[in-house]
Amino acid sequence: MSANARILCPTLKQRLMSAEKAAELIPAGANVGMSGFTGAGYPKAVPGALAERIRKLNACEGSEPFRINVWTGASTAPELDGVLAEVDGIEMRLPFQSDPICRQRINNGTMDYVDLHLSEVSQYAWSGFLGKMDIALIEVAGIREDGSLIPSSSIGNNKTWIEQADKIILEVNSQQNIKLEGMHDVYYGTALPPHRKPIMLTDPSDRIGEFYFECPPEKVIAVVESNAADRNSPFKASDETSQKIAQHILDFFEREIELGRLPKELLPIQSGVGNIPNAVLEGLDAGPFKNLTAFTEVIQDGMLKMLKSGTLSVASATAFSLSPEGIKEFDENIDLYRDKIILRQQDISNHPELARRLGIIAMNGMIECDIYGNVNSTHIMGTRMMNGIGGSGDFARNGYLSIFVSPSIAKDGAISSIVPMVSHVDHTEHDVKVIVTEQGLADLRGLSPRQRAREIIKNCAHPDFRPALHDYFERALHSGRGMHTPHLLGEALSWHQRYEEEGQM
Ligand code: COA
């Protein structure tokens, strides 16, 4: 069905225009709330047209640099972050990105970046901490007769952006499967304190909201047709390291079930994106598990397989993140998936109250972890931004089990992922329950810092670095200083310093 045929509201049909014309409606310095979460549901036509406009304007000698502030749900794609960063069109970016050009600009100081817990972004916007939102630029799968909007492959912060923005530009993308209609659950019951009420969701399969976004037609200044696929990164087959990590986690789950600490259906799973989480999902699918549930941010290929096989009975998320094969599978079997998948806004998918109530099992990647269990998910060598904290803090802090995973070494063994002291802290020792590398798993629950250090070094460190970590810990223990969390302060970050200077920890 063409994009035009998906615009059923006569008033909004009158606002149809080209992406170039719509891009002209975005002024310099605007705060623009864009749709998009993990490469799904981002606007695909207007950002490119805007980047072209910025490129031309900035090429005029003596002109004031034209830049905007870009707020999204999470990461987008080269057609949004990439093109705008390339023309130096982004003044400030939030709340998460994973784009190589954005990353370069953030790290060379030409782009400001506010790295936020994904559950908190809407609260920040509602409270006015981010300033006024000028324009919302939202991809939708269709516009209904009454002007309400059919969400596309992600919800992210769209509900908040539509409510908060002075003006709205809509992109109607005919590549989004129209059968997505009915898979969303947009909740209109949130409020700022002191007016908050409990969120009445007690199972990942619960529906508490509406299928559509409410959208005041008078705020819509442009409607643009688009016809382009989501980012759809190819699916990488899991490697040996990921499979080993996955096996440690699966063994751990089985032990926890035997000990009566987890039910045989486990608890709702939250899984970050990437090689290792995918290997864990594959392992779960191959194992004896049935009727598991997911309460997570992103639905990946692995989850589709699990839904099809019955390993997973329901998956609640805020976005898809599928490979081209995953998209094909989803489109061809959408009738099978539509009752088993619910897409929610990110302030619900990542809500602390819900993560705690449901007892999420959170599995996320990390850059490094220290011997006491503090985790760095974001900063390379303490200073260079990788992606951002995303939802990892929402789930790790509030879930039942927070598991952090990483290969024990990086950069061909030049770097140990287990270090004496992390160079940046995203998740404190209080929020981290389990650390897993391909070497093994350290269950930190109920352990003191010194006990944790022994477990992490013994089970998770790479053999090439284990003796040096032991040596550090033993000398710290005999330093005659604080014995609760023993450290040699002058040496604690020397591993990172050595890597920066010599290329080897
Ligand atoms: N020091 C320096 N560099 C390191 C490193 C370390 N300790 N550990 C990994 N790296 C580098 C890798 O070499 C790789 O570099 P490259 O891109 O130049 O090849 C890069 O970091 C990514 O490493 P990789 O092992 O491929 O990790 P990943 O794709 O599994 O991502 C995180 C790991 C931590 C970056 C990722 O999980 C993340 O962004 N987490 C934060 C957000 C989050 O958790 N989201 C999910 C919540 S819902």
Please give the Cα distance from 373 to 435 (Å, whole number).
Answer: 8
Q: How confident is the model at residue 273 (pLDDT cuts 50, 70, 90)?
A: confident
Which of ligand 1's atoms lies nearest the C-alpha of 416? 7
Residue whose CA is at the smallest distance from ligand 1 atom 33: 365
Please give the Cα distance from 317 to 308 (Å, whole number).
Answer: 17
- Cα–ligand 1 centroid distance for 391 (angstroms): 15
pLDDT (tens digit per residue) in 434-492: 999 999 999 999 999 999 999 999 999 999 999 999 999 999 999 999 999 999 999 99
pLDDT score at 61: 79
Residue whose CA is at the smallest distance from ligand 1 atom 46: 272
Residue whose CA is at the smallest distance from ligand 1 atom 29: 274
- Cα–ligand 1 centroid distance for 367 (angstroms): 5
Residue whose CA is at the smallest distance from ligand 1 atom 1: 380
477's enclosing H/E stretch is: helix 466-477
CB 145 within 8 A of CB 8: yes
pLDDT (tens digit per residue) in 314-362: 999 999 999 999 999 999 999 999 999 999 999 999 999 999 999 999 9
Residue type, 298: V
CB 142 within 8 A of CB 211: no
Which tokens go with 455? 């477990």
CB 422 within 8 A of CB 370: yes
- Cα–ligand 1 centroid distance for 365 (angstroms): 7
- Cα–ligand 1 centroid distance for 371 (angstroms): 19
Q: How confident is the model at residue 154 (pLDDT cuts 50, 70, 90)?
A: very high
- Provide the percentage of residues in the chain whose pLDDT is more than 90: 92
More confident residue, 204 or 301: 204
Lining residues, ligand 1, CB within 6 Å: 272, 274-276, 297, 364-368, 377, 380, 386-387, 389-392, 407, 410-411, 415, 417
Which of ligand 1's atoms lies nearest the C-alpha of 271? 48
- Cα–ligand 1 centroid distance for 386 (angstroms): 7
- Cα–ligand 1 centroid distance for 271 (angstroms): 15
**Beta strand pairing call for 31-34 and 135-143:** parallel
Please give the Cα distance from 262 to 259 (Å, whole number).
Answer: 8
pTM: 0.97
| CA neighbor of 201 nearest in space, from 307, 347, 89, 333 | 347
DSSP designation for 78: I
Query: Token match 């302030």: residue?
Result: 347
Residue whose CA is at the smallest distance from ligand 1 atom 44: 392
What is the mean pLDDT of the segment spanning 9-33? 97
Which of ligand 1's atoms lies nearest the C-alpha of 364? 44
Which of ligand 1's atoms lies nearest the C-alpha of 118? 48
Residue whose CA is at the smallest distance from ligand 1 atom 12: 410
Which of ligand 1's atoms lies nearest the C-alpha of 376? 34
CB 425 within 8 A of CB 374: yes
- Cα–ligand 1 centroid distance for 248 (angstroms): 20
Residue whose CA is at the smallest distance from ligand 1 atom 16: 411
pLDDT (tens digit per residue) in 175-200: 999 999 999 999 999 999 999 999 99
Neighbours of 83 (CB within 10 A): 21
32: phi then psi, degrees, rounded to nearest 5: -115, 120
- Catalytic residues, by residue number, are 297
Which of ligand 1's atoms lies nearest the C-alpha of 419? 7
Q: Which residue from 38, 347, 411, 504 has its CB within 8 A of the most atoms of ligand 1, so it is best to mutate?
A: 411
- Residue 272 clears pLDDT 80, i.e. is over it: yes
Please give the Cα distance from 241 to 246 (Å, whole number).
Answer: 9
CB 435 within 8 A of CB 404: yes
Q: How confident is the model at residue 232 (pLDDT cuts 50, 70, 90)?
A: confident
| CA neighbor of 297 nearest in space, from 97, 37, 71 | 37
228: phi then psi, degrees, rounded to nearest 5: -145, 150
Q: How confident is the model at residue 62 (pLDDT cuts 50, 70, 90)?
A: confident
> If you average pLDDT over every residue of the chain, what do you get?
96
Which tokens go with 91? 């003044």
Please give the Cα distance from 24 to 46 (Å, whole number).
Answer: 10
Residue 318 C-beta-side C-alpha neighbours within 13 Å: 32
- Residue 382 clears pLDDT 90, i.e. is over it: yes
